[in-house]
Amino acid sequence: MHLAYPAVLAALLFCIGLYGVLARRNAILVLMSVELMLNAVNLNLVAFDVWLRDTLHSGQALTLFTIAIAAAEIGIGLAIVLAVYRNRGTSDIDRLRDTAETDDAEKLPDSAGTDSAGTDTADADGTEPPPGRADGKTGKTKKAEATT
């Protein structure tokens, strides 16, 4: 067997996987492309092991370790993708940039009763407004406010 045939096939598989990693937006397809790249490496390891007639079969042994690591990688990767899909509703990689940490301290009111603009958010009696309401209103209807 010539070494060129499996080497060319492995190079083609690796290039297809690399294209998939760089061009795809879906996280599942990116994980599949990484698997293609790992399989191309495995094909090279086995081909060179056969070509060199290694008595220890170290290329094949290393291939088994690579398969085990790839299985763990795909398991963890799919778990992360499923968790992101449940929270976000999409597995689009470009939309995952929204998960970056931002400085929310400027947007939230501090404990002294003022918001980021420095206006007082406490009621006249000094109590804090309900969560989500910066104007201090409790959400009562006008009829209920008129009777109190």
Taking only the tens place, the pLDDT of each residue in 13-33 is 999 999 999 999 999 999 999
Radius of gyration of the chain (CA): 29
Sign (positive or negative) of CA dihedral 7, 13, 17, 20? positive
The enclosing H or E element of 15 equals helix 4-23
Is the separation of the CB atoms in 37 and 21 below 8 Å?
yes
SS3 26: strand
- pLDDT, one tens digit per residue, over 64-117 is 999 999 999 999 999 999 999 999 888 888 887 766 555 555 555 555 555 555
Closest C-alpha to 33, from 47, 15, 10, 9: 15
Sign (positive or negative) of CA dihedral 104, 109, 114, 117? positive
What pTM, to 2 d.p., does this model score?
A: 0.63
